[in-house]
Structure 1
Amino acid sequence: MSSVETATTVGQLREKVAQWRRDGARIALTPTMGALHDGHLSLVRLAQQHADKVIVSIFVNPKQFGPNEDFSRYPRTLPEDLALLETVGADLAWTPDVAAMYPDGFATSISIGGPAQAGLDDAHRPGHFDGVATVVAKLLLQIGADVAVFGEKDYQQLQVINQLARDLNIPVEIIGAPTRREADGLALSSRNRYLSPEDRAVAPAIARVLSVCAERLRTGAATAPVMADGVKTLESEGFKVDYLVARHAVTLAEVNSIADGPLRLLVAARLGTTRLIDNIGV
């Protein structure tokens, strides 16, 4: 049984936050959808470097799943999650249910543009980032966090959240945390548990292809042929590629070469029934 304190209502959450505020504490939020792994724990550790108290939210947000996505089967492992949070000394787990986050009569959503309309995940998951923006705005307002830490693995999401905080003048510092990887390069993800043993052996090809593309781009190669070669390589390994692109690292605008500014390579591809995403900087 975990000793990590939990809150399941906004009232409980705000009572604890108010107590910490009276003591002068600086508060960080690490939002998650549970099914925690060491990548999530690294976010908590980073948050602890920037705040006195760290709240980890665990909420599988229905508003960011499409009708044919994996909301119903997304792994829900709360007891195990709380046990992991205890190992890193998280101060509070915010674990609302859907009714607490979206009570009867809830009628507000956030529509976001900019990096949320870059033609990446938004093109393949319509409405996804509106759902992300809505739930993140709620989390930030519920807690009033000084700092919020998000993983760079969901790189487009990170840029969307930066846009959200700027546009709505939410007084929070958004920090991006480096992607954690398995020894063979596969980015840690809660969805990795969907992979069959055969697909798991193939999955690290994503990281290898990103690395090869990045090295070619560093020599000044044009992005289009490099990315096209990368797609062909992934398809030869059995992936169905949604996108493999080079974009400006801040705006996510299309670029022609490394001369156009700092680059980020982003990929989303399906292997069997599992959709994997990854990215690296150039």
Structure 2
Amino acid sequence: MTSDRHLALLALMNEITAPAKIYDHCLRRAAAERSDSPEYDAAVDRGSTALDLIERAVRLWVENNAPRPVPGRCGVPSPDGRFVCALPPHGVEELHADRSHEEAEPNGRRMVWSTPTVLPDGFARHSCITVACAVCGYRYDEAEFDRHFPSVGDAIDGAVSSGWDELKDGRLLCEADDDKHDALRRTVGVADDDAEPTVRVFHSADGWALPDYTDLADCTTNFHRAQDGRPACTETAVWKVVEQRGLNLTIAWYCDGDLPAEHRPLATPAA
């Protein structure tokens, strides 16, 4: 909760203190009188008026202090209206289903509505990359539908192997050879296909947080597991693999069992 929200809450508490005391007094007074007496009716009426004042003040406070979307985040409100989705913008409606404030987690000084670690049966979480040409916007496809990749590095490898060009700034160009495409190849330059990426491997026994800190990272192999019809990995993703290829940075997370063999020589558990 921010300091402004704290101050607004304190102001609300001050505003409802007097009617709350009146309601408490009327409640005790009504309990002491006979239910068919004028004194009882007067206590109930006065107590109801005080309760109405409290309700109006709270409703107005909620309206004026509703959670605001985080810039660059989804912003869809939770069912109870107390929080907003802090995931990057997405259109996956299932991530908004049956969510409540009980699933809100502290993220620095802001309470966020984050992705559940465990999904209901029949649900699968996918974080996919698609590719489009930097000049004409033509989407890299396979069998007339967008090809999805688990990481930027895999997307680049897939497109380049099909004849696309990777520019030195990390963008991709389709196979078109008109003036606009060729001009970008000349001015930016085409990346060296034979250059080996710089790879670093890190270990954390507690797992790794996603870049936006909304949840712990799942094992990157879940993308291929879903494609192959295999169950998702439920182990903690203790390894983080960072690949630097020119200006392009790719991050992947793996459990002990799924860490690729080519990265194991660099894998050293933290002391």
Task: Give the TM-score taking structure 1 as reference length.
Answer: 0.25
Task: Give the TM-score taking structure 2 as reference length.
Answer: 0.26
Q: Which has the higher strand share?
A: 1
Q: Give the number of the structure with larger relative contact order, counting CA–CA contacts within 8 Å between residues 6 or more apart.
A: 1
